C-alpha cells in the first residue's frame, strides 16, 4: 500500500501531538485529583492545539481495562494504590493516532513494565510479511515472562481515515496466522497485562457511543444526541458531550433503533489490576515508524 506525503504527514502530526498531550494529561493523575477535571483538561489540550479527539479520553481504574471515561458531574477521584490507564486518540483531518500509558499510584511497577516491554517487543518484530499472530506470540511471551497474563480478548487494531478499528487485528496472545503485515499499514499495538483472569467482560455502565447508521430520530432528546454524533463522522463520542436533559432517553432510543453502538466499560475480575501500553505505527519496507513515540 502506498501512502502519499499529505497522509503520511497527517499521521505523524497526530502522533506527535498525541504523545505530547498523553504525557501532560497523565501528569494530572494524582492522589486526590478529580477524574472529570483531569479528563476535561486533557481533552482541552487537544483542541487548543488545533486538532480533534478521535474518541473520548479513556481513563480506566484498576481492574477496568478500557472504555471508561468521566460521567457528567463525575465525583470520582484518584486514590493511593490505584492503577490508571490513560488512552488518548487524536485525529488530524480524520487520520488517527491512538496511544496509551499506565499511571501507577501504588506498587504496581512490575505489572506496568510487563505491558510496556510487550509493546516494545512487538514493535521490534513488525516488518512486511510477518503474520499478526506472530506479534501476539511475542506479546504473550513477554507478559508471561514478567509473571502476568495477557488479556486474550482485547486486541490491537488497524487505523484508517475516520476509522478506529479496521484490519489488521493484532492479538495479545499467540495464534497461528492472522493478517499478513504490509508496507503502508497503519495500526495500534496495545498489550494489556493483568493479575486477574486474562479475559475481559462488559460492565453495565456505558459512557461512550458511536453512530453506525444515518437515519432520522423522532424524539427531541435523540435529535440532540445526533447533533453531537454527526460531526464525528463515525468516531465515538461521550455521553457528557451531549448538552441538555433526558440524554439517557435519547441514547437508549438510538441504540434500540440501531443508529448508535454502545461501548460498555470493560473489566477483569474485581480486585485485579490491569496495565496497558499502546503506540500507533506505520509499516515501512524494513520495519515501522512509531508515530506516537
Specify whether 98 is catalytic: yes
Place of cell 487505523: 159
Place of cell 501531538: 17
- Give the active site residue among 13, 63, 190, 207: 190
- Give the active site residue among 49, 82, 160, 165: 165
- Give the active site residue among 120, 207, 278, 279: 278
Q: Which of 89, 97, 33 is CA-nearest to residue 61?
A: 33
> Could you give phi then psi for residue 232, rounded to 5 degrees?
-75, -15
Which three cell numbers mark 262? Answer: 454502545
Which three cell numbers mark 9? Answer: 504527514
DSSP 196: S
First to last CA, the chain: 23
Distance CA 139, CA 282 (A): 19
Specify whether 190 is catalytic: yes
Distances (CA, A) of 171 to 27, 167, 175: 29, 12, 8
3-state secondary structure of 291: coil
Q: Which of 135, 271, 139, 268 is CA-nearest to residue 198?
A: 268
Specify whether 108 is catalytic: no
- Give the active site residue among 108, 157, 267, 279: 157
- Give the active site residue among 13, 43, 68, 87: 87
- Give the active site residue among 13, 98, 113, 207: 98
What are the residue ranges of helices labelled H in the chain?
A: 5-26, 35-48, 109-125, 132-145, 220-229, 247-256
Catalytic residue list: 87, 98, 157, 165, 190, 278
Amino acid at each position: 500500500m502506498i501512502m502519499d506525503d499529505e497522509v503520511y504527514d497527517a499521521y505523524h502530526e497526530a502522533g506527535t501531538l498525541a504523545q505530547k498531550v498523553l504525557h501532560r494529561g497523565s501528569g494530572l493523575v494524582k492522589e486526590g485529583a478529580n477524574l472529570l477535571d483531569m479528563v476535561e483538561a486533557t481533552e482541552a489540550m487537544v483542541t487548543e492545539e488545533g486538532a480533534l479527539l478521535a474518541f473520548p479520553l479513556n481513563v480506566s481504574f484498576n481492574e477496568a481495562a478500557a472504555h471508561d471515561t468521566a460521567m457528567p458531574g463525575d465525583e470520582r477521584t484518584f486514590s493511593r494504590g490505584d492503577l490508571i490507564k490513560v488512552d488518548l486518540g487524536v485525529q488530524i483531518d480524520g487520520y488517527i493516532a491512538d496511544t496509551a500509558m499506565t499511571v501507577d499510584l501504588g506498587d504496581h511497577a512490575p505489572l506496568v513494565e510487563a505491558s510496556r516491554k510487550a509493546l516494545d517487543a512487538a514493535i521490534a518484530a513488525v516488518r512486511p510479511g510477518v503474520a499478526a499472530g506472530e506479534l501476539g506470540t511475542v506479546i504473550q511471551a513477554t507478559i508471561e515472562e514478567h509473571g502476568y497474563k495477557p488479556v486474550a480478548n482485547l486486541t490491537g487494531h488497524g487505523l484508517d481515515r475516520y476509522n478506529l478499528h479496521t484490519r489488521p487485528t493484532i492479538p495479545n496472545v499467540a495464534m497461528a496466522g492472522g493478517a499478513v503485515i504490509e508496507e503502508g499499514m497503519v495500526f495500534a499495538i496495545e498489550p494489556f497485562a493483568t493479575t486477574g483472569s486474562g479475559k475481559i467482560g462488559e460492565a453495565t455502565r456505558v459512557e461512550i457511543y458511536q453512530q453506525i447508521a444515518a437515519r432520522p430520530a423522532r424524539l427531541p432528546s435523540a435529535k440532540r444526541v445526533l447533533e453531537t454524533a454527526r460531526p464525528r463522522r463515525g468516531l465515538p463520542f461521550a455521553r457528557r458531550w451531549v448538552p441538555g436533559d433526558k440524554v439517557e432517553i435519547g441514547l437508549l432510543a438510538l441504540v434500540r433503533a440501531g443508529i448508535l453502538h454502545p461501548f460498555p466499560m470493560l473489566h477483569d475480575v474485581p480486585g485485579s489490576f490491569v496495565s496497558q501500553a499502546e503506540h500507533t505505527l506505520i509499516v515501512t519496507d524494513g520495519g515501522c515508524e512509531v508515530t506516537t513515540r
